[in-house]
Amino acid sequence: MFGSAATLAAFSDAGTVRRMLDFEAALARAEARCDVIPAEAAEVIAATCRAEEIDFDALAAAAVAAGNLAIPLVRQLTARVAARDEQAARYVHWGATSQDAIDTGMVLQLREALQAIDADLKALGHACAALATQHRDTPMVARTWLQHALPTTFGLKAAGWLDALRRDLHRLGATRAQAAALQFGGAAGTLASLGNAAPAVAAELGRELSLAVPATPWHAYRDRMVEVATTLGLLTGTLGKIARDVSLMMQTEVAEVAEPSGPGRGGSSTMPHKRNPVGCAAVLTAAVRVPPLVATMLAGMVQEHERALGGWQAEWDTLPQIVTLAAGALRQMLEVVNGLQVDAARMRANLGLTHGLILAEAAMLELGGKIGRLPAHHLVEGACRRAVAEGTTLRQALGATLAGDAAHAGLMDAAALDRVCDPANYAGRAGGFVDAVLAAWRQEAGEP
């Protein structure tokens, strides 16, 4: 419910161990190419770097005492390599440190997960673009402070979702590039263990793993990892905004949209008639959970000298949770938007709930051009009170008010009253805004 298949696989126990072993295999191959270790040893090490050969129960138990996963993993790997070639076992993890394996393993997991998130984010954007296009001119109520404000269009609401997703997609692209960085510094970030061969090994290791080699190891500088967290925190917030909009519009009294239906979806254990916004609930749950996790990542940035005591370790569970929750929220929202049922007739009907009072500003501005804004405000305000007191529409009350006042009798004829009191005529630049957002999305993400 709170994840996606791709991210759950990437951050599974097997996924974590597999990516750390990918680092160890690539390290051995890189060092062999740079004549640091024998090529034969590298072949044996790389062939043994298979998650299937690891005793996960023993690994988990040993990690508690060791303080991290890499120490017992390297120990198991060394023993398995020794069973095949004792000489090769001497070169396992040569010149590296635990944090190199853990951080680079995490980078590889993130690359896998963020690629899947990128694909789903584009798919959701395309779905929102389709809604914005289809409903560019579909009138509905704009609500401020949860109250009727003015007319807008559902196309503009969907375009608002889309424009936020476009910014999220742009941020995600920059974050993916920034995070794809090798961590390789040895015991204290100097790579002293490799001597003069260090630059060549690092470059070769980066090529092996298709990762950038930064100017300096980043053991205690966590901005890359925190950028992933904050970017996904912003994305989850965007998804939460969409979920909040949809769930409010899905309330029985509003009923302007509905999540896709299906057997067993959104039901109640006791009320057969219920159709609950279950997809939105999952997204909003993630939107509640992710911000404090992002705060944990930010708090962990203040680290001690060349290796942290607590701050780095706090990332191990926190960052995978953020990625998984964001990916799960994205998957849920994609399903909701792809199958969203839009009731344009109900949207139009809801525009009439105030009997035209929602267009008081339009009437005021129309009259303001003739008699000034403040006199027009007083006149329309009086017509609004009259409409409420008499149970009539603004159009009827305003017409009666104008007709009963010789000074204002000729200000608006019947055609002008009809035009001003039609919600479709007071959506402002909604259509133009939709078109601009769609153009920007096509430039950022391309056509579906």
Structure confidence at residue 264 (pLDDT) = 57
Span(s) in the chain for CATH 1.10.275.10: 7-96+187-208
The pLDDT tens digits of the residues spanning 26-45 come to 999 999 999 999 999 999 99
Is 170 a residue whose pLDDT tops 60? yes
Beta bridge partners of 206: none
What pLDDT is attached to residue 274?
59
- The mean pLDDT of 261-288, rounded to a whole number, is 76
Distance CA 393, CA 397 (A): 6
The architecture (CATH level 2) of 103-181+218-350 comes to Up-down Bundle (1.20)
- What percent of the chain is modeled with pLDDT above 70? 97
Q: Where in the chain is the domain with CATH 1.10.40?
A: 357-420
> In the structure encoding, which two tokens stand for residue 169, read together?
């997609």
Q: Is the predicted pLDDT of residue 371 greater than 80, yes or no?
A: yes
Active site residue 269: no
| Whole-number percent of the chain with pLDDT over 90 | 89
CATH 1.10.40: does it fit domain 357-420? yes
What tens digit of pLDDT does each residue of 430-439 get?
999 999 999 9
Residue 428, phi then psi, degrees to nearest 5: 55, -135
Residue span(s) of the chain under CATH 1.20.200.10 come to: 103-181+218-350
What are the pLDDT digits (tens) for 375-420?
Answer: 999 999 999 999 999 999 999 999 888 888 878 878 888 899 999 9
Q: How far apart are CA 279 and CA 219, in angstroms?
A: 39
**Please, where are the H alpha helices in 250-314?**
278-299
Q: What dihedral do alpha carbons 219, 224, 227, 228 form, nearest 10°? A: -100
Query: Which residue among 90, 167, 275, 307 is the active-site one?
Result: 307
CATH code at 7-96+187-208:
1.10.275.10
The 10s digit of each residue's pLDDT in 231-241 is 999 999 999 99
Catalytic (active site) residue 167: no
pLDDT at 266 over 90: no
Choose, from 12, 210, 261, 268, the residue flagged as catalytic. Answer: 268
Q: What is the pLDDT of residues 58-88, one digit of tens each?
A: 999 999 999 999 999 999 999 999 999 999 9
Q: What is the mean pLDDT of the chain?
A: 94
